Amino acid sequence: MHLLLKDGIALARRRLDHARIACREKLAATLHPDQGASVRLAGGRPGFWRGFAGAGLGLALTLGAAGYLAQHREADLQEAERELRNLSLVLANWVEDSFRAVALLQAGVVQWVGSESIDTTGQLRERFASREVHDALHARTMALPRVQRLFLADANGQVIVTSTPGAWPTPEVSVAGKDYFELLRTDPGRDSVLSSALRSQMNGHWNIFFARRLTAPDGRFLGIIGASIDLAYFEDFFARLNLGTYSSIALNHSDGALLVRHPRNESFIGVTTPLSATFRQVTAADGSGTLRARSPVDETDRIMGLRVLKAYPLVMIATRATSEVLAPWRQEVRRIGLGVLLTDALILGGILLINRKDRQRRALQAARTEAEAKLARSEERERAARTLAERDAALSAVFENGMAGVAEVEGFAGPFVRVNHRYCEMTGRTETDLLGGLTPIDVMHPEDWPRTAALWQEAAGSGGKWETELRHLRPDGTEIWTRLSIAVSARDAQGGPLRHLAIVQDITESRAAAERLRASEALLRLGMEIGHIGSFSRDLLSGEIQCGPETRVLFGLPPDEAPLSMEDLLVRILPEDQARVRRQIGEAVARCQPEIDLQYRFHHRPDDMVRHAEIRARYEYDAAGRPLRSVGVVIDVTERRATEARIAHLARHDALTGLPNRLLFRERLDEALARAQRGGGFGVLCLDLDRFKDVNDSLGHPAGDALLREVARRLQAELRETDTLARLDGDEFAIIQADVHQPQDVTALARRVIEMVGLPCELDGHQLVIGSSVGIALAPADGTDADALLKGADMALYRAKAEGRGCWRFFEPGMDARMQTRRTLETDLRRAMVAREFELFYQPIVEIPSRRVSGLEALLRWRHPERGLVPPDAFIPLAEEIGLIVAIGEWALARACAEATTWAGAPKVAVNLSSVQFASRGLVDAVAAALERSGLDPARLELEITETVMLQETEATLATLRQLKALGVRIAMDDFGTGYSSLSYLQRFPFDKVKIDRCFTRDLEGSRQSKAIVRAVAGMCAGLDMTTTAEGVETEAQFQVLSREGCGEAQGYLFSRPLPAGEIPALMEQLAQAARFSTAAE
């Protein structure tokens, strides 16, 4: 603009010089009329042609400026579209990689479920509703911070297990009715669903749910594996890109719903925007495109770059406000427009002035007389003076009203002579201040003056014109960047400069915009560096390739900007990948493909490491289909490939021991069966660890994990390379023994396994001794498919455990029927708890001296709807094995306490505790709750434990016993004298009662040894202040012997068989009468 202003001033000066010449010609014409006439006749109509020429010049200047600005505007918009399209491509690839990692994680779980051969929802819940599955899901989601939780839901929508920390047991949560669940449930052809945005009730974040279908082998719907993905993860990443105040990044669902946006507009999350249909039209061709439209989110005109993700129903949108893109262009419009207007005004003013003077000249030529000539000369002088005044006025108007600052200084950086209003605004000073003796040194930044002075002096010797950019310093300390153009405005007689005229333009905003642009480009480069993303452009006509700095770093290329050839890159690709890459590139060009994706491995310089890369490129073709160039990005996916390999390994291996898991074991088993069809055989061994649960309960899970790793190491040492060892679940292992020709081959291995597992193990200062049981199935004799062999080995294992543990058993055909009976009993037992089929019977305990009832023992009975009354020894061991005894025991304890409060005479009530129940962490709380709800006096409750509990004696066991004693209840040692009885138990804990087992009472009349044992126990307990109760008393003779030997209480059929609770009051009245009669008789 300042150049246009200088040209306008020069043009005005030329026009005024012409006016002075015209005045002189008019005076001459007055003195020589004939000559003037000839001049006038030669001129014709000069005023008309001058006006016509001036108008044409002004119109051409205006149209040229308008055309240039229109072209510049469109170029700025197209450049912004190109940048946003590339940015949306980069971000779409990143988002797609993020979702692909979640999909891989889910695929591993789907394979896991598929490997279990699950047919029903009940089997799915039975297999996967466990703490181990919860821990496994939690471990797998730790590497993916974007996954808030991973969960497994059955066909009814009930969540059976989740990865949420601390969410075990799994809370009662249902996803039935959720859009993603219903779509997968009702549409068998749909494999996965990505939901709309939903707000989390836990942390208030917006989430989306990525769910995959779980299918039974026959195609029935089993449930879903769902992942809750926190959208704040993506918003944080978009925010870190820091693209600027007027830019935005959004991720939309393919149905148009807004999922995440930065900057956030909370009211639009999850809402379908009106531009959804337009987005689909724009991206219909090749999945990407650009759009200029008003954003419904912030009502701002925006330029949008769109990219549809290939694998997921998502659309990546990157935008910039149109106002921001066109901000530099608008400044250019103002500068050029003002320059054009000023120039047009000067041209028009000059022409009008010349035409006016021309008319005056012709009027003067009409004067003929000498008197009129004298008058004419006087008028011409006045006219010349007015012309000079008008020139000064015109220059003053330009000087004062221009958009640029103008200042005139004396000599070289002398005091200011003239300044305009705009210069005063820029410097923050008044005209009075500037003309009061200030110099350019006083208003410029001190750091810029030395450079400016040097340029000024250098320009003085080369014509006196020069330009530079420098800072002006306002009185308040504000720095203003300006573009300074200086020229000599007056010279002395010798031609030396007297004054200099400076045109000053404020460029602070344009420099700031340029700096923001550089910062944005630097941020984009940083994002590409962080994501290991390089860029390149290949000219397909010349073969030259231009690479970005990240691409050169990725390939280990020199950092210079020299162009490369295709061979420079191909030689770094591994030879086994080169031919494929060349073929794919050739096919893409031959078919005129718009895009190409390549994966390959290459040698990274200078460390020569093999890394993985992906190239995504777009081709450009001319109208004839000839390729012109390709532009694309190079992504280092080495870490992603390593992660995928780790996930694939974890999907087929046990995370704790590193052994093959159930999935890989099944694959190896199928391979062994395929080999067996060609001849030969093999064995399948299933084994689990005896007393492993005791180690877990007493020393904790870390110790149990360490023990499992040691067992895995020992087992692996006993196998050949052709054998396979796998950990199936918990403490269950399985072995495929190859090349088995006779049963002795398998028994030899089973014997070694049992011996190695049974060796002592030193762990954290504890010497542990466990055992193992082994079940064996032989192929092809026991089955020709994997399920049959595993089932057979598992049944044989159950038989080995049932027959004493620490041994091995081969599969026999009859085992299947026994196992089916056991499964039926287990199913009925689980249903019985819900159907309330359990009830309590009570058997009285009688004081021997007085025959008075001192208490009653609660005995559990199961009233089966088909089998009738099932005895305890038929179902209690099974309930202990499957863990149901804890719930049954809590129910029995609460029921016994409640019913005891209704008995007259306040007798005690005795309740048996299973060793499994005693090991549970909630036993003390369950006892306290039963007492509190029933209101029973704690002194009336007697808890009976077996010696099995004391065999597991740890500090935790003793602590639990002490806590129970602290509640005020009594503790009895049941079945004393059997199993591993040890007097140390009575020494370590002060029991209230010891119950002598019925095996001693049964032979009491004829066995001297039994009498001695009863006498010894009764005497020992009397010395320890413990009550002695003899079980199984059936005859009066036994009762009399017990009385003589000092036993305190008796229990058995002599007094009553166990009776239901409703018959107890009558029984107690009957026994009370018998006691009174006996006392009276004595």
Q: Which residues make Cβ contacts (< 8 Å) with residue 318, sequence separation at least 6?
A: 84, 87, 88, 91, 243, 247, 248, 249, 304, 305
* Strands 533-539 and 545-547, bridge-based pairing: antiparallel
CATH number at residue 667: 3.30.70.270
The 3-state DSSP class for residue 366 equals coil
Angle of CA points 904, 907, 911, to nearest 5°? 125
* Strands 247-253 and 221-230, bridge-based pairing: unpaired
Contact call for residues 596 and 617 (beta carbons, < 8 A): yes
Two tokens at 761?
């193990």
Same domain membership, residue 225 and residue 238: no
CATH number at residue 303: 3.30.450.20
Nearest to 819, CA basis, from 836, 795, 800: 795
Residue 59 maps to a domain:
no
Same domain membership, residue 164 and residue 214: yes
CA distance 160 to 130: 9
Q: Which of 755, 779, 813 is the last residue of a domain?
A: 813
Q: Report how many helices (DSSP H) and strands (DSSP E) the chain contains, helices first.
A: 37, 38
Helix (H) / strand (E) element for 669: namely: helix 662-676
CA distance 1026 to 1049: 11
Residue 481 has φ and ψ, to the nearest 5°, of: -80, 130
* Strands 1027-1030 and 993-996, bridge-based pairing: parallel
Angle of CA points 606, 611, 612, to nearest 5°? 145
Same domain membership, residue 997 and residue 855: yes
CATH number at residue 1009: 3.20.20.450
Nearest to 178, CA basis, from 141, 204, 210, 220: 210
Same domain membership, residue 1034 and residue 901: yes
Q: Which residues make Cβ contacts (< 8 Å) with residue 531, sequence separation at least 6?
A: 90, 94, 635
Alpha helices in 759-912 (DSSP H): 786-802, 815-835, 876-882, 885-900
Report the interhelical angle of 327-365 vs 370-401 (nearest 10°). 170
Residue 90 has φ and ψ, to the nearest 5°, of: -60, -45
Which residue type is seen at 91? L
C-alpha distance from residue 1079 to each of 906, 926, 948, 1069 (Å): 21, 41, 40, 15
Nearest to 511, CA basis, from 483, 538, 541, 539: 483
CA distance 254 to 256: 5
Per-residue pLDDT tens digits for 528-566: 666 567 788 888 888 888 887 777 777 777 777 677 777
- pLDDT of 862 reads 93
Per-residue pLDDT tens digits for 354-365: 878 777 777 777
Which residue ranges of the chain lie beneath pLDDT 70? 1-45, 201-202, 366-369, 371, 373, 376-378, 384-385, 387-402, 460-464, 520-532, 561, 605-606, 804, 814-820, 951-954, 977-982, 984-985, 1079-1082
C-alpha distance from residue 294 to each of 320, 325, 1050 (Å): 11, 14, 94
CA distance 1034 to 249: 87
Per-residue pLDDT tens digits for 188-229: 888 899 988 888 766 778 889 999 999 998 888 999 999 999
Same domain membership, residue 992 and residue 1022: yes
Same domain membership, residue 961 and residue 853: yes
Question: 634-643: b or e for each residue (b if 16 or more CB lie within 10 Å)?
Answer: bbbbbebbee
Which residue type is seen at 865? P
The 3-state DSSP class for residue 32 equals coil
Q: Which of 599, 621, 643 is the last residue of a domain?
A: 643
DSSP characters over 446-493 = TTTHHHHHHHHHHHHTTTS-EEEEEEEE-TTS-EEEEEEEEEEEEE-T
CA distance 74 to 510: 19
Residue 417 maps to a domain:
yes
- pLDDT of 714 reads 93
Q: Check whether the bond before 606 is cis (ω within 30° of 0).
A: yes
Which residue type is seen at 137? L
Same domain membership, residue 488 and residue 576: no
Two tokens at 223?
């449930």
Residue 608 maps to a domain:
yes
E runs forming strands in 59-167: 147-154, 159-162
Terminal CA-CA length for the chain: 135
CA distance 6 to 484: 13
Which residue type is seen at 235? E
Residue 457 maps to a domain:
yes
Same domain membership, residue 582 and residue 660: no
Q: Long-range contacts made by residues 111-117, C-beta under 8 angstroms, separation at least 24?
A: 111/651, 111/663, 112/651, 112/662, 112/663, 113/152, 113/214, 113/222, 113/225, 115/662, 115/663, 115/666, 116/662, 117/217, 117/787
DSSP 115: H
Helix (H) / strand (E) element for 209: namely: strand 206-215
Residue 615 maps to a domain:
yes
Contact call for residues 448 and 491 (beta carbons, < 8 A): no
Two tokens at 658?
């590193």
* Strands 908-912 and 853-864, bridge-based pairing: parallel
Same domain membership, residue 240 and residue 214: no
Q: Whole-model pTM? A: 0.40
Contact call for residues 283 and 306 (beta carbons, < 8 A): yes
Same domain membership, residue 681 and residue 619: no
DSSP characters over 743-775 = HHHHHHHHHHHHHHHHS-EEETTEEE--EEEEE
* Structural domain boundaries, residue 724: 652-813
* Strands 868-870 and 1027-1030, bridge-based pairing: unpaired
The total number of structural domains that make up the chain: 6
CA distance 257 to 179: 14
Contact call for residues 665 and 728 (beta carbons, < 8 A): yes
Angle of CA points 156, 160, 163, to nearest 5°? 135
Contact call for residues 173 and 209 (beta carbons, < 8 A): no
Contact call for residues 693 and 730 (beta carbons, < 8 A): no
CA distance 143 to 645: 14
Same domain membership, residue 548 and residue 500: no
Contact call for residues 950 and 944 (beta carbons, < 8 A): no
Identify any residues that bridge with 847 across adjacent strands, giving them in sequence order.
1049
Residue 84 maps to a domain:
no
C-alpha distance from residue 728 to each of 116, 127, 167, 534, 794 (Å): 11, 12, 24, 45, 12
Same domain membership, residue 286 and residue 170: no
Q: Which of 324, 356, 377 is the last residue of a domain?
A: 324
- pLDDT of 18 reads 52
Q: Which residues make Cβ contacts (< 8 Å) with residue 553, sequence separation at least 6?
A: 534
Residue 794 maps to a domain:
yes
Question: 699-726: b or e for each residue (b if 16 or more CB lie within 10 Å)?
Answer: beeebbebbbebbbebbeeebeeebbbb
Q: Which residues make Cβ contacts (< 8 Å) with residue 614, sequence separation at least 6?
A: 597, 598, 599, 634, 635, 637
Residue 30 maps to a domain:
no
CA distance 998 to 1054: 13
Length of the chain: 1082
